Amino acid sequence: MPEPHTGPLWLAIHLPAPTAGAGPAPAGDVLEQIALWGLELTHQASLEPPDTVFLEVGGSRRLFGGLAEIQRRAHEALTDLGHGPVALATAPTPQGARLLARGCPGVQVTEGPALRRALMPLPCQLLDPTSAQQAALEALGLSRLGDCLRMPRSGLRRRVGTAPVRRLEQAVGERPEPRHCIPPPQRYRGRLELPAPTAATRATDFALQRLLRALVGVLRGLDAGIQQAAVVLEHPDTPETVLTLGFLRPTRDLEHMTHIARHRLERQTLPDVAVAVRLEADQLLPYHGNSGQLFEDPGTSGDAIRTLGERLIARLGADAVHRLATYPDPRPERAWRRLPLEHPGEPTAVTPQRPVWLLPRPQRLRDGGHGPHWGGPLHLETGPERIEGGWWDGDDIARDYYVARTPAGSRLWIFRDRRPPYAWHLHGFFA
């Protein structure tokens, strides 16, 4: 049955206070990281220091299949990001969602009357009263939020204080609660300290995985991608180690980005132990997804070729991976060149029919008196195609090229020098 509510709904992500000896309370940058990830689910994310992030999910619940699915995704992603355990709840008001997350996590309330009923049995301590305010509540015999809701607000405010009553009124929707939402970031910065210093790059993998997962959440929320990012390994006594991740087109594919990063790390030797990992992306670019075809044609996927190229570069280095391109030189052996795989595309030079396989050096053929021989007399099918050039660099040629067929039916590309001794040469093979 579809959820009837159509107004704002707030998902509260609450990080419970650590128990004694469990470490420090969450810092502000932790809340900001969670909020930035939350842009994957909504365009409105707000911070409530020191322990809560609000996401307005009323406009996106149909997109993700309901509130239960949104909460499931949030739990799963926050665990992957290393922010568990967290408490989640959804309500029509931010403070209502926060109170439910702290007192009754997992609840999903979509209507005001139901929110009021859900809040009534929760303890008054959730209003964060001071010690004096708590004593005043106990003196009045108020232990549950329902007790406070049945009291006149003016008298309760005089006896208990303004702040707890204001939170209660905001929770049930009696007082407006304007929220300041974080602006969309123009770049990404993430940092994680390692549990212990390490000289093994593989030991940094878990931290890098979490940072990449957070980056992907931001990119999805902004409908953006990255074409370059930097992985920075911090050392205590030596300069930072910086590894560049490059992609042939903007991407936000977590699996592919992780694969590239791992290969780059495997090839890196650290000058000192690493104590922290940073991930930085200065340009968040528009992301253009690809529309699939009704009937995919195997072997023609440009994305598959790009993915292979990026992984080869990550494993072998950019200097070891190239693509071939035609070059406007009339000499066949110089009519191509190697380009970096990420080199921008160029118009293909218009060339006549050429064989794919050219010999490194032309091979001289035997002249049987009535024409060239190669496994027998050759039959000239087409030609001549006259090629002259190279005078500008001192390696000039003057040749007449022919397509020839052998007695066995193979097709060859041969030429005859137009200079003494006018010899025949084999230059390439057609498929």
pLDDT tens per residue, range 109-161: 999 999 999 999 999 999 999 999 999 999 999 999 999 999 999 999 999 99
Q: Where are the domains of the chain?
A: 10-172, 188-286, 323-431
Residue 3 has pLDDT above 90, yes or no: no
Nearest Cα neighbor of 126 from 87, 71, 78, 74 is 87
Token couple for 8: 């704002």
Residue 347 has pLDDT above 60, yes or no: no
Nearest Cα neighbor of 180 from 300, 80, 53, 20 is 53
* Mean pLDDT, rounded, for 379-405: 90
- Cβ atoms of 390 and 381 closer than 8 Å: no
pLDDT of 145: 96
pLDDT of 14: 94
- Cβ atoms of 202 and 266 closer than 8 Å: yes
Q: How far is CA 182 from CA 32, 99, 179, 185, in A?
A: 9, 22, 10, 8
The CATH superfamily assigned to 10-172 is Reverse transcriptase/Diguanylate cyclase domain (3.30.70.270)
CA distance 198 to 258: 20
pLDDT of 226: 92
Residue 21 has pLDDT above 50, yes or no: no
Sign of the alpha-carbon dihedral angle for 17, 23, 29, 32? negative
pLDDT of 294: 47
pLDDT of 329: 82
The amino acid occupying position 160 is V
Question: Which residue do the tokens 């990080």 mark?
Answer: 15
Of the pLDDT bands very low, low, confident and very high (cuts 50, 70, 90), residue 71 is very high
HEC-encoded secondary structure of the chain: CCCCCCCCCEEEEECCCCCCCCCCCCCHHHHHHHHHHHCCCCCCEEEECCCEEEEECCCCHHHHCCHHHHHHHHHHHHHHCCCCCCEEEEECCHHHHHHHHHHCCCCECCCHHHHHHHHCCCEHHHHCCCHHHHHHHHHCCCCEHHHHHCCCHHHHHHHHCHHHHHHHHHHHCCCCCCCCECCCCCCEEEEEEEEEEECCHHHHHHHHHHHHHHHHHHHHHHCEEEEEEEEEEECCCCCCEEEEEEEEEEECCHHHHHHHHHHHHHCCCCCCCEEEEEEEECCCEECCCCCCCCCCCCCCCHHHHHHHHHHHHHHHCHHHCEEEEECCCCCHHHCEEEEECCCCCCCCCCCCCCCCEEEEEEEECEECCCCEECCCECEEEEEEEEEEECCCCCCCEEEEEEEEECCCCCEEEEEEECCCCCCEEEEEECC
- Cβ atoms of 380 and 371 closer than 8 Å: yes
For 166-198, the pLDDT digits (tens) are 999 999 999 999 999 988 888 999 888 898 999
| Mean pLDDT score of the chain | 85
How far does CA 106 lie from the centroid of its chain? 29
pLDDT of 114: 95
- Cβ atoms of 262 and 206 closer than 8 Å: no
pLDDT of 392: 87
pLDDT above 70 covers what percent of the chain?
85
pLDDT of 168: 95
The class of domain 188-286 in CATH terms is alpha beta
Q: To 5 degrees, how large is the angle CA 412–CA 415–CA 416?
A: 145
